[in-house]
Amino acid sequence: MSGPAHSTWEPAPAARWEDAFLSGNGRHGVMVFGDPNADRVIVNHHTLVRPNGAEHARPPALATELPLLQDRLLAGDVTAAESFTDGRELQWVRPFHPAFGIRLRNQGAEQPDGYRREVDFTTGVVSARCGGRHSEVFVSRADDVIVHRVTGPGLSAEVTLDHQLPGAPHDLAVGHSTVLTPEGALLTLRVRHPGSDRAYTGITLAVVTGGPDGRIGTSLPGIRIENARSLLLLTRVRRHTGELDALAEARELRALLPEGDDDPYASLLARHVALHRPAYLRAGLDLGGDERERALPGSELLRRPKSPALLERLFAAGRYHLLSASGMLPPRLTGLWTGDWNTAWSGAFTTDANLNLQTASAAAAALPEVTEAHAALVHGQVDHWRDNARAIFGTRGVVAPAHTDGESGHIYHFSREYPLHLWTAGADWLLKPLVDHDETQGERDPRTAALLAQVAEFYEDFLTRTDAEGHLVVVPSYSPENRPENASWGTINAAMDLSAARHALRTAAHYHPGTPEADRWRALADRLPPHRINADGALAEWAWPGLEDTYDHRHLSHLYGVWPLDEITPYDTPDLASAAHRALELRGAENDSAHGHLHHALIAARLRDGDRVAHALDQVLGGDFFHASLMSAHYPNRDVYNADAAHTLPAVLIEMLVQSTPDRLVLLPALPPDLPEGRLRGIRTRFGAEVDLTWAPGGVTAILRPTRTLRIELRTSSGDGDGKAQPLDLTAGEDHVLSLGAW
């Protein structure tokens, strides 16, 4: 067997931007159509957001009204939170948008007989071949530049930079220039948003290589290449407010090319691959897919939703796209890519579910680059989070927004139906991936420690009300983005808020051992009320008596204690785990959003329900959620380009095979019955070991490579589905091989 392919391919160019193959370095991104006659490469940049009036938006100043709101809610006024507003209209965050398209109109290119376009996940190179014509595009992690090479005999083409992508505003101020310089031909496209000082410039340096006969000339608004063997394009996007020295940018791009006879493309690619390939190859999944199916184009393989080869390819593509979208920032709702200026939900970072779901595999799937990007977003907004806490709640500490454009962390996107300014769990939710990273690495980031202390300070000031039994009360409280059946959205004691407060306070204490603050924070956590089990035997979404559950909803915020927290587990809290499982059984899919199905699967995996994991996967794989690019959609039938499914799927596949805590390893907790054999390699655990897992009907083998010396608890699948605990002693630097019986 050759094993799963680390690539995908198609036999025809992309007709839609959604099907274009993707490459990125976490800052720049490209969408490559691969048409040999009129190729298009859409250029994206993480910082490009369109002014929409939110540039100076601030959180509502409501702190003085908070005590009255709390009084009214505690007195039974179930609609009191609807008036907790400053009266503003709903303001969306600034929308993410594409930069421009690089267009190559080739003369004399063959028709696409024998055509093949491909993206190599190990290198990030998107290529298209047709006869003697070959095009290759990648985005360099080493040099932060888009590299595009076209080769072929007698190459003649026109190259332009074109901002006129779908949805582009008609009133943009646009300027083109083309200059022939000693460094090569320089194309610039300057775009300024109307009524704003925000602008960006695309710079492309074109160099004819591979022989003395090729020529470059101007052909406004672009350039014309004649009789060349090879054309090399180097492109960057610069966002700015003042003037940009384009000639200096050209010299900087030219300096990336080697002197002498060295192949410039090969040199650029080698520097990039040295960073990209090791990251991508750290982990992998082999499900014993059929070799004939492994060889299929992605669009054809997607028509076989039960194929293990499809899961293999989506696991590989998901890690590739997640890595490619993460750098200066983590992935947006669309990852790092869009071909349309009118992105759904502003192409924002939606932090009350989607962002954490997309990055859920980062720690376990050995992608610290993703967690570092997540941390960059979080730590870059801390000052704004403090503003939110003071303005809305009158407290110290921090409160995170549910939507952000990547720059502003202020809370201003809220309405009656989406009172997102009431969500206080966000800081803990967003810090949980950073805590997981620290546990995996065995080191505590001082920035995470400092921010956890600020979260704890918020709860010290905010948790001042108590119930009749002396428990602290979270009021107001909000469970994204749901409401009780018999009350408005802003309520009391949402399960997510209780779990977040407990976790934040105890984790902050853990990061600050031996301090008076740690003692106070633990004591405060102990005063929070327990979760409530409702009349249906399910863990209630609101622990406050009298609030009735609304089951048909895409979000599963109330089961935060199951995933990603370890507050509720089948091993430590079996009664709560049973109630959580009942809540999962009762949960509807509402509008069939991809994130809802895969969030369901992650929770089911923690609860050891392999059948429910399989059902959730079936909904996504059989629902036509994936484009030919293997990027996904938000809804079935490829409706609304969205990265949730593509980026979250690897996390689901890992969670059903390997789970870990700082002192526990669980093997095959929720393996679907139709995946009888396979191998998962390179998984990192939160107790500091790398795990390779192989399973087949005859037995299971796990190889552990620990970096710490410690004793953990091992749990594995057994016939009755209730894995028994076994102690396991690990020694740093010594491989430990587990050979287990049939599962």
Looking at 14-28, 72-86, 260-274, which range is the least confident one?
A: 260-274
**Position 37 confidence tier, pLDDT thresholds 50, 70, 90:** confident
Query: What percentage of residues in the chain have a pLDDT greater than 90?
Result: 87
- E strand or H helix at 280, and its extent? helix 264-280
What value does the CA radius of gyration of the chain take, rounded to a whole number of Å?
27
Query: What percentage of residues in the chain have a pLDDT greater than 70?
Result: 97
**Which phi and psi angles does 564 have, rounded to 5°?**
-95, 0
Angle between helices 594-606 and 574-586 (to 10 degrees): 150
SS3 content of the chain, % helix, strand, coil (to 5): 30, 25, 45
- Rounded Cα gap, residues 18 and 630, in angstroms: 9
pLDDT at 247: 84
Q: Which residue has the tokens 């921090």?
A: 398
Mean pLDDT of the chain: 95
> 109 pLDDT exceeds 60?
no
In the chain, the N- to C-terminal Cα span, in Å, equals 24
The residue that leads in pLDDT, 245 or 373, is 373
pLDDT at 480: 96
Concatenated DSSP letters for 115-156?
A: -EEEEETTTTEEEEEETTEEEEEEE-TTT--EEEEEEEEEEE
Over range 717-727, report the average pLDDT: 67
Task: Looking at 527-666, list the stretches that DSSP marks H as alpha helix, in order from N- to C-terminal side.
Answer: 574-586, 594-606, 610-621, 644-655
pLDDT at 261: 67
- Rounded Cα gap, residues 488 and 89, in angstroms: 19
**Position 211 confidence tier, pLDDT thresholds 50, 70, 90:** low
pLDDT at 236: 97
Q: Give the DSSP letter of residue 619.
A: H
pLDDT at 133: 87
Distance of CA 469 to the CA centre of its chain: 41
Structure tokens at 710: 């410690």
- Rounded Cα gap, residues 377 and 355, in angstroms: 11
Over range 194-208, report the average pLDDT: 92
Strands 736-740 and 678-684: unpaired
pLDDT in tens, 663-672: 999 999 999 9
**Position 132 confidence tier, pLDDT thresholds 50, 70, 90:** confident
Query: What is the third-level CATH fold of 7-49+98-284?
Result: Beta-galactosidase; Chain A, domain 5 (2.70.98)
Look up residue 337 and give its amino acid: W
Task: Looking at 328-397, list the stretches that DSSP marks H as alpha helix, in order from N- to C-terminal side.
Answer: 354-358, 368-379, 382-388
Count of CB atoms within 10 A of residue 383's CB? 10
Distance of CA 3 to the CA centre of its chain: 27
Over range 668-693, report the average pLDDT: 96
> 722 pLDDT exceeds 60?
no
**Which phi and psi angles does 334 have, rounded to 5°?**
-105, 20
Boundaries of CATH 2.60.40.1180 in the chain?
A: 657-743
526-564 burial, b for 16+ CB within 10 Å, e for fewer? eebbebbbbeeebbbbbbbeebebbbebbbbbbbbbbbb
Angle between helices 495-511 and 426-441 (to 10 degrees): 40
**Whether the Cβ atoms of residue 401 and residue 410 lie closer than 8 Å to each other:** yes
pLDDT in tens, 601-619: 999 999 999 999 999 999 9
pLDDT in tens, 243-256: 888 888 888 999 99
- Rounded Cα gap, residues 154 and 622, in angstroms: 46
Query: Max alpha carbon distance in the chain (Å)?
Result: 88
* Domain formed by 657-743, architecture: Sandwich (2.60)
List all residues 6 or more positions away from 83 whose beta carbon is below 8 Å from its beta carbon.
Answer: none
| Tally of residues, the chain | 743
> 220 pLDDT exceeds 90?
no
- Rounded Cα gap, residues 325 and 170, in angstroms: 29
> 720 pLDDT exceeds 60?
no
List all residues 6 or more positions away from 594 whose beta carbon is below 8 Å from its beta carbon.
Answer: 620, 625, 632, 633, 634, 635, 642, 644, 645, 648
pLDDT at 244: 84
Boundaries of CATH 1.50.10.10 in the chain?
A: 55-90+380-562+579-587
**Which phi and psi angles does 355 have, rounded to 5°?**
-60, -50
Q: What is the CATH number of domain 55-90+380-562+579-587?
A: 1.50.10.10
**Whether the Cβ atoms of residue 419 and residue 489 lie closer than 8 Å to each other:** yes
Listed residue (642, 689, 699) closest to 349, CA to CA: 642
- Rounded Cα gap, residues 94 and 522, in angstroms: 39
**Whether the Cβ atoms of residue 63 and residue 393 lie closer than 8 Å to each other:** yes
List all residues 6 or more positions away from 62 whose beta carbon is below 8 Å from its beta carbon.
Answer: 84, 85, 86, 391, 392, 421
pLDDT in tens, 173-194: 999 999 998 878 999 999 999 8
Over range 372-396, report the average pLDDT: 98
> 719 pLDDT exceeds 70?
no
In three-state form (DSSP H/G/I as H, E/B as E, the rest C), the secondary structure along 221-238 is CEEEEEEEEEEEEEEEEE
Tell the burial category of 654 from Cβ atoms under 10 Å away from its Cβ (0-12, 13-18, 19+).
Answer: buried
> 410 pLDDT exceeds 90?
yes
pLDDT at 1: 45
**Whether the Cβ atoms of residue 168 and residue 218 lie closer than 8 Å to each other:** no
**Whether the Cβ atoms of residue 603 and residue 656 lie closer than 8 Å to each other:** no
**Number of DSSP helices (H) and strands (E) in the chain, helices first:** 17, 29
Looking at 227-231, 565-569, 600-604, which range is the least confident one?
A: 227-231
Concatenated DSSP letters for 283-316?
A: -EEE----HHHHTS-HHHHTT-TT-HHHHHHHHH
Look up residue 263 and give its amino acid: D
- Rounded Cα gap, residues 16 and 280, in angstroms: 27
pLDDT at 111: 53
Over range 434-458, report the average pLDDT: 98
